[in-house]
Structure 1
Amino acid sequence: MILKIGLIVLLAVVYVVATRFLKSSIALLGQKKSVNEVRITYVSKMLNLGFTALFVLLVCLVLGIGYGQLAIFFSSVFAVVGVALFAQWSILSNITASLIIFFSFPYRVGDWVKVVDKDDEVLGQIIEISTFHVIIQRLSNDIVTYPNNLILQKAVVRFSDKKAAQAMSQFKTEEKEEITPL
């Protein structure tokens, strides 16, 4: 009994230290990449949720709850969550893509980009990277919300400035000549 209590206390200490380290590491990485504070908080909470689930699982194992009982519990929970999210798989996909974008997306807010898409030209400046979308302001000042999971699947071209982006636009902005009536 004392051994179990000692292991649980040790797990709790490791959990607290790991979550604090994770939170500070994410904050440093976010500041280094000039990421919005809201996104840093969101990513910290998502990863903290994963660590909490792992901590609860380990405490259950230390307390002697059998693998069979845990398997039944977690399979029941995952079945309910799976059915609930099946219809909303794109939401889960966008949340996962948001985490990937936070850690490894080579573009930042303020960059001029073109998403290579055969159906439509998405060329403009990234004005925000949110939980579900990358928000791009086009040259025509239209706002495009591009889903995170799709932007990871498409080729993205980064331009040095607005002038370079305008030069690559398929929709050239030309000066219209005024026609004088006869």
Structure 2
Amino acid sequence: MTTALPVSAPAAPSVPRHLHPVSEGARGFVGYLVLLPEGTDPTELFARHGIRPQLQALPAADAPYTGTPPSSPSPSPFSPRGGVRIDSERHVAELDGRELDLTYLEFELLAQLVGHPQRVHSREYLVSRVWGYGHVGDGRTVDVHIARLRRKLGEAHRRSIVTVRRVGYKYVPVED
């Protein structure tokens, strides 16, 4: 069995500064995935070659996927005006303190809309973002899910998902 370790190392100094994609004054990093035999100490291996990487261990194969890397701070729940609150860490959407009973795709769709209020999302963008590029379907799929979301949001908040004719949808927080 092997252990996979993502490794970050400073960007190669041979890249001219004007071609480097990182803004002026910032330090760029290049990521590498290094596979090591089980029981190998990666810090010792890299030290032999004069490399001081920033190591980040991946969760074990049987560990449940949480959606965030183990070393990253957990995202704070997004709570815009209008009563809809998205907690991506717990995968929960709340409306005025009440948890909504949403399917996985309904949650992802609502999170996409609420996460970018006032922004118009085309049906094609939503299909690629929520369903993934491999999804076979059309914009009607989005329309059906939007209708379900509106029903679940209820009378007071259903108008917060606005149809932009011949384009797509946007989220407009309900003013209290």
Structure 1 length-normalised TM: 0.24
More strand by share: 2
Structure 2 length-normalised TM: 0.24
Greater C-alpha Rg: 1
